[in-house]
Amino acid sequence: MTVEAMGRPSPFRGLMMDDVPLTINWVMRRAATIFADRPVVTRTPDGGRHRYTYRALAERAGRLAGGLAALGVGPGDRVATLAMNHYQHLEMYFAVPGMGAVLHTVNPRLHPDDLVHIMREAGDRVVVVDQRLWPVWEKIRERLPALAAVVVEDGTGPVPAGSLGYEAVLARGEPVPLADGVADDRQAAAMCYTSGTTGRPKGVVYSHRSLVLHALAEAAVDSIGLSERDTVLPVVPMFHVMAWGLPYGAALHGAGLVLPGHDLTPVGLLTLLEETRTTLTAGVPTIWLGILAELDAHPGRYDVSRLHTMLVGGAAVPPSVLAGLRDRHGLTVLHAWGMTETTPLGSVAHVPAGVDPRPGPEGDAYRLSQGRPAALVEIRARGAGGLVPWDGSTPGELEVRGPWVAAHYYGGDDDGKFTDDGWFRTGDVVTIDARGYLVIRDRAKDLVKSGGEWISSVALENALMGHPSVAEAAVIAVAHPRWQERPLAVLVGRGSDRPSDLELARFLAPQFPDWWLPDGYRWVDAIPRTATGKFLKTALREQFHDALEDRGRDRRGE
Ligand code: AMP
């Protein structure tokens, strides 16, 4: 009980130093003064480079805020982006929260129905679209008539009819001084949707305070260790959990930023890493698999000796990638675990004190684990009988809480993911050892993670069971050499007809993005079930684990 709650005024009221609002404006202010000349380099759509500094970024973000205000955007309004990693997107990252509005980064790879759902639910007023992604917007714009569209020009042609050019918007209003735009750091700054385990995607809302604390935490040496001496190239898209918070982390700590635009090919990335002398880069394992193959194919072609950290998360790093990059190319992988709901910094896999840090099985076991929670993040795991001991062997569903962990989903449907005592249920089944190291053993959520993007098993199953020849369908994740996981459908037939794989794919195609379609279909007499009658997916996953090993088929194509 506080002194004031006991009926006496606190003698300390107003004297303490904790009422400075931690806002994105404050991050911008620091970058624009202390780190004014640090560089931001973007690869432009024509293959060229756009270069400027944090000073110029802040100046343009102020003009953008003025332009958005002239379009009618006010405090609390949502402004969506359908955009890759480039300086204009970075300007949105600062201008929109900086003017008190909310940045909603949208994943352009989603199905049009999901895009419409999330943009409606978020209540977006304006959408800023890369010209190259205009076809994505074209498909849904009629269903979202209230949204104004702004196009980030790529020089390939005129701005499409019915939209405004980004530069014209910047030129339109009076610049807004972003220095003190937001007074309350618990105000929403940004939002991002993630795949729900049931139903539609779920909206996660980031406050100014959570983003600033997260950016601060990224500099701890036992987390990512961001510093002014770094140049950071986030390969992770800016529509995936705020590019893992790296744009804000870089600006706060003065690291240079390199934004790769739309070219995420191994050659394109390696060329850019070399040329910009990048020191830290970040992305999902699929990206590093491609980079490793390119480095192996052309030893000595790329000088990436400045690169000290390749941050890998979003899916487990394969041991062969960690060892291959290190042993053949002298590159260090730093494995981390996180989620959209955790902004995403959850845990980082450094080797603990007292363990030999040199390459070898002991240290590598830690490097390949999901690591230890970042400072201020708390973890626990729950099994059938309650919280499990931290013995490194008893599995349980991981629960987390912390100042940058979501408290609810936007829109009111919590999907059963938050406990009564305020922890977030991750859906990852882990063991925790005595030092707090996590290892993911399984997944409680019924989803497939393919190249860093989610595919809903349940949605595919429901659609398949709508086929007249399918009585039961279970969709499972199976290992894939490039995408790590791909969906495989296990089916029980109805009647005597067994449609071909192609017929089934054609049946599903109108309802899902192409990369969601199963890579294979297997007919069985019966699907094993749990005691409660649910599909026993662990048994299916075991049975079909290698079902796609021989397949090089790529539905995910970029
Ligand atoms: P997302 O919200 O799309 O970032 O996905 C978060 C989920 O990705 C987690 O709950 C895990 O299932 C998975 N994930 C993230 N990082 C890792 C990792 N380092 N190892 C294994 N799975 C991971």
What mean pLDDT is predicted for residues 324-339?
97
Position 556 scores a pLDDT of 47
Residue 193 β-bridge partners:
203
449 catalytic, yes or no?
yes
397 catalytic, yes or no?
no
Q: What secondary structure does DSSP assign to 304-325, as a single string? A: -TT--EEEE-SSPPPHHHHHHH
Name every residue whose Cβ is closer than 8 Å to that of residue 53 and which is 6 or more positions away in sequence.
36, 37, 38, 39, 40
What mean pLDDT is predicted for residues 138-142?
97
Q: How far is CA 74 from CA 100, 174, 214, 374, in A?
A: 7, 14, 26, 35
Ligand 1 atom closest to the Cα of residue 440 is 21
Strands 309-312 and 333-338: parallel
Ligand 1 atom closest to the Cα of residue 316 is 20
- How many C-alpha atoms does 497 have within 13 Å on its Cβ side? 8
Beta carbon of 339 within 6 Å of any ligand 1 atom? yes
- Per-residue HEC secondary structure of 473-519 comes to EEEEEEEECCCEEEEEEEEEECCCCCCCHHHHHHHHHHHCCHHHCCC
What mean pLDDT is predicted for residues 209-231?
98
- CA of residue 447 to ligand 1 center, whole Å: 11
CB 49 within 8 A of CB 260: no
> Of the ranges 194-208, 291-305, 460-474, which one carries the lowest mean pLDDT score?
194-208
Position 553 scores a pLDDT of 47
Angle between helices 87-98 and 54-70 (to 10 degrees): 60
What mean pLDDT is predicted for residues 107-117?
95
Position 557 scores a pLDDT of 40
Q: Residue 7: which region, alpha, beta or left (left: phi > 0; alpha: psi -120 to 50)? A: left
pLDDT, tens digit, for every residue of 366-390? 999 999 999 999 999 999 999 999 9
Task: For a ligand 1 pocket test, name from 109, 238, 428, 447 the mutation site with the most ligand atoms within 8 angstroms of its C-beta.
Answer: 428
The span from the CA of 244 to the CA of 403, in Å, is 16
Q: Which long-range contacts (CB under 8 A, 24 or more apart) does 31-37 make?
A: 31/57, 31/58, 31/251, 31/252, 31/254, 32/57, 32/58, 32/59, 34/254, 35/228, 35/251, 35/254
Residue with tokens 């279909």: 521
Q: How far is CA 141 from CA 45, 125, 145, 163, 240, in A?
A: 24, 12, 6, 11, 22
59 catalytic, yes or no?
no
Beta carbon of 342 within 6 Å of any ligand 1 atom? no
Angle between helices 501-508 and 457-464 (to 10 degrees): 110
Taking CA atoms only, the protein residue closest to ligand 1 atom 4 is 339
What is the percent of the chain where pLDDT is above 70? 97
Element (H, E) at 335: strand 333-338
Residue with tokens 């970042």: 374
- How many C-alpha atoms does 63 have within 13 Å on its Cβ side? 13
Residue with tokens 């042993």: 327
Task: For a ligand 1 pocket test, name from 240, 339, 348 the mutation site with the most ligand atoms within 8 angstroms of its C-beta.
Answer: 339
Position 6 scores a pLDDT of 72
Q: How far is CA 426 from CA 381, 397, 417, in A?
A: 10, 7, 7
The span from the CA of 394 to the CA of 386, in Å, is 11
Q: What sections of 146-263 are H helices per DSSP?
A: 166-172, 208-217, 241-244, 246-253
pLDDT, tens digit, for every residue of 292-309? 999 999 999 999 999 999
The CA dihedral of 488, 490, 494, 500, to the nearest 10 degrees, is: 40
> Of the ranges 55-69, 171-185, 491-505, which one carries the lowest mean pLDDT score?
171-185
534 catalytic, yes or no?
no
Element (H, E) at 113: helix 112-122
Number of C-beta neighbours around residue 526 at 10 A = 8
pLDDT at 534 over 90: no
The span from the CA of 356 to the CA of 285, in Å, is 25
Ligand 1 atom closest to the Cα of residue 312 is 19
Q: Rounded to 5 degrees, what angle do the CA atoms 71, 112, 244 make? A: 70
Give the residue among 152, 207, 158 at the shortest CA–CA distance from 185: 207
* pLDDT band (50, 70, 90) for residue 4: low
Q: What's this model's pTM, rounded to 2 decimal places?
A: 0.93
Beta carbon of 346 within 6 Å of any ligand 1 atom? no
Assess whether the previous peptide bond of 403 is cis (omega < 30° from 0). Answer: no
Give the residue among 283, 297, 336, 311 at the shortest CA–CA distance from 451: 283
Ligand 1 atom closest to the Cα of residue 340 is 2
Number of C-beta neighbours around residue 184 at 10 A = 11
The three-state secondary structure class of 158 is coil
pLDDT at 199 over 80: no
pLDDT at 558 over 50: no
Give the residue among 285, 281, 362 at the shortest CA–CA distance from 316: 285
- CA of residue 103 to ligand 1 center, whole Å: 23
Taking CA atoms only, the protein residue closest to ligand 1 atom 1 is 339
- Mean of the per-residue pLDDT values for the chain? 93
Position 205 scores a pLDDT of 98
Structure tokens at 225: 């260790």
Beta carbon of 194 within 6 Å of any ligand 1 atom? yes
Q: What secondary structure does DSSP assign to 18-31, as a single string? A: --S---HHHHHHHH
What mean pLDDT is predicted for residues 420-439?
97
Element (H, E) at 130: strand 124-130
Q: Residue 155: which region, alpha, beta or left (left: phi > 0; alpha: psi -120 to 50)? A: left
Domains, the chain: 19-42+50-214 (3.40.50.12780), 374-402+419-443 (2.30.38.10), 455-543 (3.30.300.30)
pLDDT, tens digit, for every residue of 145-158? 999 999 999 988 89
